[in-house]
């Protein structure tokens, strides 16, 4: 099936008991058994739930994977991945990544003896130089949050395979519509399902997709044992959101291209970070591993004044000032004080995350209205 057909049909089927075309919300905590251990595949909803099963099958299909595993948040999914490892193990991570991931790595797991190396990944040889006998995994975001850096997944997978490492890719910014890391050699794909997959800013969830049966078994064990599982109502909402993922992503990409071009030509804008520009670092890689360039854009202001950035964001009307991304509505955020505040200032600025940097999640509204909203806000500085 092509992607749009998979988004609507893969992993789901009409309910056998009623013929309902939409997957029911199985709002139950437990299931009746005929005899101890003799049940219909479901015994307790932390372990399994039919609504969650349908969603996990759908997500696996969208990522061309075999196993989908859902969690109560994206960080819950990342937490499970890191729990695959032991004290003394080391993980190489990109140096530009979501602040919550950085916080989880450094403030939680480093306390338990897992060491993290945060390195630029624009060149695979940089990664290889940090590999040692204790290295167990490479953690990649591409495009990165919020600097929109592009990492060559296929090239990194070759490094991982050469050294016997797991390669995990946070695919949240791209969504399965734009990029499928498993096809490029990744072992684990992670999504903050909250974002594009849900698409309507009404659910918080995370997911992992893998092909390897043994790896899936370990992650499913952690999903059940640690208990960070989503409820059936949330799973239902994401199943509904997925059915329009391809339609929404097409519009996100169209609007993203329009807004990026507008910002690049604006006299009050210093830099625009969007992988669709030909002069964007690793644009050729983005063009080869992504189907389009998405609706996530970051930009800085001339003069790099925090006061100017605040004034712009306070005067936007259609771009709501809020954390998160990937919903149908446009959002703006200030990474330095919001999503990435947990990263020390000196570390943020090493990758270009300065105080005037504004991140946009371009929604599916009319592009002209979005341009006009940005123009009037920028006119205030």
Residue 83's closest CA among 236, 272, 215? 215
CA distances to 55, 73, 227, 235, 263 from 230, in Å: 11, 8, 9, 7, 38
Residue 145's closest CA among 187, 114, 191, 184? 191
What is the residue whose two structure tokens read 């696996």?
Answer: 60
What is the residue whose two structure tokens read 């625009």?
Answer: 272
Both tokens of 137, joined, read 């995994």
What's the CA gap between 193 and 56, in Å, rounded?
A: 11
Those residues whose C-beta lies under 8 Å from the C-beta of residue 368, and which sit 6 or more positions away, are: none
Contact call for residues 147 and 340 (beta carbons, < 8 A): no
Q: Write out the catalytic residue numbers.
A: 46, 98, 170, 195
Residue 146's closest CA among 259, 314, 242, 275? 275
What is the residue whose two structure tokens read 């997911």?
Answer: 207
Question: What would the DSSP string read from start to end of 237-296?
Answer: HHHHHHTTHHHHHHHHHHHHHHHHHHHHT-TTEEEEE-TTSTTSTTHHHHHHH-SS--SE
């Amino acid at each position: 099936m092509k992607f749009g057909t998979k988004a609507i049909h893969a992993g789901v089927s009409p309910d056998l008991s009623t013929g309902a075309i939409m997957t029911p919300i199985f709002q139950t905590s437990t299931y009746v058994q005929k005899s101890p251990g003799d049940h219909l595949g479901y015994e307790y909803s932390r372990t399994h739930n039919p609504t969650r099963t349908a969603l996990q099958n759908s997500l696996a299909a969208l990522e061309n994977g075999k196993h989908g595993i859902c969690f109560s948040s994206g960080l819950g999914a990342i937490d499970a991945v890191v729990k695959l490892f032991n004290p003394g193990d080391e993980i190489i991570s990109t140096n530009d990544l979501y602040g919550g991931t950085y916080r989880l790595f450094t403030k939680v797991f480093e306390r338990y003896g897992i060491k993290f190396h945060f390195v630029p990944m624009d060149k695979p040889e940089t990664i290889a130089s940090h590999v040692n006998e204790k290295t167990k995994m490479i953690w990649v975001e591409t495009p990165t949050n919020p600097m929109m850096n592009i990492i060559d997944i296929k090239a990194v997978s070759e490094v991982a395979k050469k050294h016997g490492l797991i390669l995990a890719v946070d695919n949240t910014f791209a969504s399965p519509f734009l990029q499928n890391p498993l096809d490029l050699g990744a072992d684990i794909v992670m999504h903050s399902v909250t974002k594009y997959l849900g698409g309507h800013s009404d659910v918080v969830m995370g997911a992992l997709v893998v092909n390897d049966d043994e790896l899936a078994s370990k992650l499913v064990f952690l999903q059940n044992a640690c208990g960070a599982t989503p409820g059936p109502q949330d799973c239902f909402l994401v199943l509904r959101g997925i059915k329009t993922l391809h339609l929404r992503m097409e519009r996100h990409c169209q609007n993203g291209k329009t807004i990026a071009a507008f910002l690049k030509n604006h006299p009050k804008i210093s830099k625009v970070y969007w992988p669709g520009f030909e002069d964007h670092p690793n644009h050729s890689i983005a063009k080869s591993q992504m189907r389009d360039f998405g609706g996530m854009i970051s930009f800085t202001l001339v003069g790099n004044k925090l006061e100017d950035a605040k004034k712009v964001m306070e005067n936007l009307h259609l771009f709501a000032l809020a954390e998160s991304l990937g919903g149908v509505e446009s959002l703006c955020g200030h990474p330095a004080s919001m999503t990435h505040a947990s990263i020390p200032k000196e570390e943020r600025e090493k990758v270009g995350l300065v105080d005037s940097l504004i991140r946009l999640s371009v929604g599916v509204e009319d592009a002209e209205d979005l341009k006009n909203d940005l123009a009037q806000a920028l006119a205030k500085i």
